[in-house]
Amino acid sequence: MTKSSPFSVRGRRALMVMRDDREMSIVRRQLNRLGMTISEHDPAEPPQPNENIDVIVMDADTIPIKSDLATVWKVGAPIIALIGTETPSRLKWLLDLQPASFLIKPLRSAGLYTALVVAFDSAQRRIDEAAYIERLEDRIRSRRVVFAAVLQIMRGQGLSETDAFTLIRQTAMRHRTTIEQLSAEIIAVGGMPNRTTRTA
């Protein structure tokens, strides 16, 4: 699947979680110029489940950090935080929220596009990193299965580690399966499975 460029924002969906009319007007005008679809949400209300959005532009000062709303905004979409209050408690809450980008208030008519690009890029990097970690974990799990199968064959047939792995590899190739799949079968049956026919 082709990844969306972080520089391409036209057609993407933005949710404005704001209350100040002046700031809303600035953000709305800029998002409209960039060709984005806009929806608005009251900061006093929790987010809607499964809301189809690409980015949240949130006035962080309007969220009470000691309320239930302080944690419910971790909804998956990247957040651009509008920051005016720089107290340690507010900034700690923001760090926990993990915004992808931010703008300092009072807002100006410039800077939102940059914040959007940074937010989309940051979100894609998090997705890529999560996928990479998942692949690594799968490889680690697979290696554990193969190692356990090699030990099983070593004990059952009195082979060296090298010979046991060679037997598994050759058997997997002969039956057109993966080493990992054959290893899982070896562990399940307690030895080399009886394969009388080749698998497609």
Q: From CA 21, how far away is CA 12, in angstroms rounded?
A: 23
Tokens 């935080």 — which residue?
81
Q: Where are the domains of the chain?
A: 13-110, 132-189
Q: How many CA atoms lie within 13 A of 106 on its CB side?
A: 4
**56 Cβ neighbours under 8 A, 6+ residues apart:** 14, 15, 17, 73, 75, 77, 78, 79, 80
The tens digit of pLDDT for each residue in 120-159 reads 998 888 888 888 898 888 888 888 899 999 999 998 888 9
- The CATH architecture that domain 13-110 belongs to is 3-Layer(aba) Sandwich (3.40)
Phi then psi dihedrals of residue 47, to 5 deg = -65, 155
Tokens 């989309």 — which residue?
120
Contact 178, 186 (CB under 8 A): no
Calculate what percentage of the chain has a pLDDT beyond 90: 37
Angle at 145 between CA 140 and CA 149, to 5 degrees: 145
Residues belonging to the chain? 200
Handedness of CA 121, 127, 130, 136 (dihedral sign): negative
The tens digit of pLDDT for each residue in 61-103 reads 888 777 666 566 666 789 999 999 888 888 888 888 889 999 9
Region of residue 11 (phi > 0: left; psi between -120 and 50: alpha; otherwise: beta): left
Quote the tokens at residue 83.
Answer: 């920051």
The tens digit of pLDDT for each residue in 5-60 reads 877 889 999 999 999 999 999 999 999 999 999 999 888 787 776 678 899 999 98
Q: From CA 64, how far away is CA 89, in angstroms rounded?
A: 11
Question: Could you tell me the fold of the domain covering 132-189?
Answer: Arc Repressor Mutant, subunit A (1.10.10)
Residue 70 confidence (pLDDT): 59
Quote the tokens at residue 104.
Answer: 């300092």
The tens digit of pLDDT for each residue in 160-188 reads 999 999 999 999 999 899 998 899 899 88
